[in-house]
Amino acid sequence: MDDALILMADGGGGERMMDLVRQEILSRFAPADASGELARLADAAVLAEAEGQVAFTTDSYTIRPLEFPGGDIGRLAVAGTVNDLACVGARPAALSLALVIEEGLERAVLGRVLDSAAACAREVDAPIVCGDTKVVERGGADRLFINTAGVGRIEGGRRLAAEGIRPGDRVLVSGPVADHGVAVMSRREGLRFASAVVSDAVPLWPLAEALLAACPGLRVLKDPTRGGLAAAVNELAEAAGVGIEVEEARVPVRPAVAGACEALGLDPLNVANEGKFVVVVAPEESEAALSAMRSHALGREAAEIGEVRPAPARGPRVTLRTRIGGERVLEMPYGQDLPRIC
Amino acid sequence: MDDALILMADGGGGERMMDLVRQEILSRFAPADASGELARLADAAVLAEAEGQVAFTTDSYTIRPLEFPGGDIGRLAVAGTVNDLACVGARPAALSLALVIEEGLERAVLGRVLDSAAACAREVDAPIVCGDTKVVERGGADRLFINTAGVGRIEGGRRLAAEGIRPGDRVLVSGPVADHGVAVMSRREGLRFASAVVSDAVPLWPLAEALLAACPGLRVLKDPTRGGLAAAVNELAEAAGVGIEVEEARVPVRPAVAGACEALGLDPLNVANEGKFVVVVAPEESEAALSAMRSHALGREAAEIGEVRPAPARGPRVTLRTRIGGERVLEMPYGQDLPRIC
């Protein structure tokens, strides 16, 4: 028996699986779970009663490679789900963690990835309270997939939703775009000149909390993951039934990221982020939102990038004022530029 | 473009993915979601405020084949998560559904499986309110994995937990064991003589509700999935710090299932169930629990199968009184008899 690799028997529901769960899961996540629910290994965790509405979200992560500059699938899985909760204004209350492991995965890799997930969860005090472990035979999965679901609490009955967006509202982004996608892609493609680019994967709840406190007129937060800023803005315009104009020159992009996108034939506006918000806010609070973000470590390079317009009678909802002064449609990406990016 | 098969671009976060989500997900699940949250396609769903504690659980399903006698991965994913909630006495309030699809999966198969998930969710009025779709390249997964997480409401502040188990309590099972594992395995192995065996996959919340109403002394419910009855009873004994004695002759097993287990070299007590409860109840309420179950479609063949004992000073916690009158240890299964069974 080679304990360095995960075997099919580690997922069978028997004594071996209990050992794996104790060694790899409970050791890392139970100490941070004040409720003690994870350690009970019951069929479901019971959360403490609390005031307010409950938010609920899920995401599966299939990123390749599992480890990349600035993060790994464990960090991504925790940050991504915390960020989805933050987008509706919910403080993360409890997370689940479900693993699908390909037989033969090195336990050392699993350990590193779970260490990283645990560290990320501690950053925002979001305990992992329930989970699941499945093992499939070699060739039945690509090393490791992680699903995280999250439950959050919305305090003060405040509702962030695209439906609150009005013409005249300002569109902001909390920092430079496309870092995550470019970091992963340049690792995958072996682009040496982009080696300085690291993923922005980070749990954004603290930034959301700062924005909620600073801006009573905060309409909505959205994390521009797959499909990048272009998809996020299009989805907001569609959901709100408005037009949005984005000014290309105002969208922050790091030079190394811009260079890598050029080399890869990608538009940075279509490339995934894992630690940024698109923020829509009432016009009179745009400055307050910018200043709240810029005075926070997670939003130092925040920028106003556009404005909400009345719904166009027909035609595209999102337009881009280009650097050279022209105007073009900022399209919803069609298929995908970067597979397996999250 | 062959619309009969899922392509990588269907998971890219762009227009194609939105089409897939509308056609395959929203069409099936949005009508049953009175909250309208799923249709909003926001980053997280916001649940209606309600009294009581919140339960939270997750499970990933990697079963092979995707469709088997009596069910499919879609039905299993919904029933399994509802049952995990029911085990802590929680009425299902909202489910998530996250798909990892292998490129090339037939859309017809996806459609059938999702139809089945939707029908199963309707059976217990458990709306799917959020989800995620990922596509990985051919060979990167085995056709389709589904993760469901669930949020439930515990009414009346009642807590079902292994810690409430006391010596003298009775152990019941809600019906014949091993149907699910044998149905899947006989399909996989092409066992013709077992063709009459169908999976028991069913959402058990209605049966839990009947038990909660009939038995104030209900200690705990547990669904004996991977590792079967043997694993479930061992986990309960371990968590409660008690011994449990099970009487083999009292454990209901259908003749066709017993025959198939014999042919496959399996002990039915180690084989997975997806529609059964192990029930522990105060001794004076054992009859009430049996009668509540037997008068319900989901528990017609319920039986009392054992009793809780004081914790043994040392040695095994769970013993089996065999048919021939002997006594042996009912062990926690070690690895697994049946891979990819759920």
A88 has a pLDDT exceeding 60: yes
pLDDT-derived band at A337 (thresholds 50, 70, 90) equals: low
Q: Which amino acid is at A52?
A: G
Instruction: Assess whether pLDDT exceeds 70 at residue B2.
Output: no
Give me the mean pLDDT over the B306-317 stretch: 93
Instruction: Report CA-CA distances (Å) from B128 to A52, A56, B58.
Output: 21, 11, 14
A156-181 pLDDT, tens per residue? 888 899 999 999 999 999 999 999 99
- Give tens-digit pLDDT for B59-114: 999 999 999 999 999 999 999 999 999 999 999 999 999 999 999 999 999 999 99
Chain A residues in contact with B227 by the CB 8 A cut-off are: 12-14
Do A9 and B145 lie within an 8 Å CB cutoff?
Answer: no
Query: Is pLDDT above 70 for B337?
Result: no
pLDDT for residue B1: 47
**Helix boundaries (H) for B284-335:** 286-294
User: Could you read off the pLDDT of A4-62 as tens digits, one per residue?
Assistant: 999 999 998 888 999 999 999 999 999 999 999 999 999 999 998 777 899 999 999 99
pLDDT of residue A182: 95
Residues of chain A contacting residue B129, judged by C-beta atoms under 8 Å apart: 56
Query: H-type helices in chain B, by residue range?
Result: 15-20, 27-29, 37-40, 73-87, 107-123, 179-189, 205-214, 228-240, 255-264, 286-294
Percent above pLDDT 90 for chain A: 87
Q: What's the mean pLDDT in B19-31?
A: 96
Rg of the Cα atoms in chain B: 21
Q: What is the pTM of this model?
A: 0.96
Out of A45, A132, A135, the one facing B55 most closely (by C-beta) is: A45
- CA Rg value for chain A: 21
Which residues does chain A have within 8 Å of residue B145's beta carbon, measured at their own beta carbons?
A: 60, 100, 141, 145
Chain A residue with the nearest C-alpha to that of B61: A134
Query: Which residues in chain A are contacts of B141 at CB distance < 8 A?
Result: 62, 140-142, 145
Question: What's residue A225's pLDDT?
Answer: 96
> CA A174 to CA A304: how far, in whole Å?
9
Tokens of A231: 């998809």
Tell me how many degrees the CA angle A334-A340-B1 measures, rounded to the nearest 5.
40
Nearest to B309, CA basis, from B248, B246, B243, B239: B243
pLDDT given at position A216: 95
Nearest to A146 by CA among A32, A28, A59, A23: A59
Tally Cβ neighbours within 10 Å of residue A339. 21
Which positions in chain B touch A145 (Cβ < 8 Å)?
60, 100, 141, 145
**pLDDT per residue over A210-219, tens digit each?**
999 999 999 9
**ipTM above 0.90?**
yes
d(CA B181, CA A161) in angstroms, rounded, equals: 44
B159-197 pLDDT, tens digit each = 899 999 999 999 999 999 999 999 999 888 888 777 789
- Residue among A56, A100, A139 minimizing CB distance to B62: A100
Give the residue from B25, B58, B76, B102 with the most A CB atoms within 10 Å of its CB, the best one to mutate: B58
Cross-chain Cβ contact B235/A41 below 8 Å: yes
Enumerate residues 6+ apart whose C-beta is below 8 A from A327: A319, A320, A321
